[in-house]
Amino acid sequence: MIRTKLVTLNNTPVEITFTDEVDSHYTIVITNTSANKHALIGNGSVSTTNYGLRVEHDGPPITLENMSFKNRLFGISEDPNTATQVAVMVIERN
């Protein structure tokens, strides 16, 4: 199954993974759809100084494979005063 959603990020961490449990391991693709702000991805305490991935506004999507339903990803906007949108696609394995 393929799931998609559009998530608006601001200065408060927002979960970008799906809140219901995905039945199997999955691949997640994160694309920044904003015109000029980067998205910062990490755990529930992601911040502008503490993040794991930076999704460029004009760069390629980021793909993470072999994710578990236990994995949770959160995101914020690089600029706390400007919202950033990311498109999220999850591809479940059978």
Whether pLDDT at 24 is above 90:
no
Enter the pTM of the model.
0.91
Fill in the amino acid letter for 87.
Answer: A
Domain limits, the chain: 2-92
* Average pLDDT in the chain: 92
pLDDT confidence tier of residue 93, bands split at 50, 70 and 90: confident
Fill in the amino acid letter for 34.
Answer: S
Fold of 2-92: Jelly Rolls (2.60.120)
The whole-angstrom separation of Cα 53 and Cα 35 is 18
Q: Please name which of 75, 90, 71 lies closest in space to residue 42, comparing C-alpha atoms.
A: 75
Cβ burial of 22 (10 Å; 0-12, 13-18, 19+) is buried
How many CB atoms are closer than 10 A to CB 91? 16
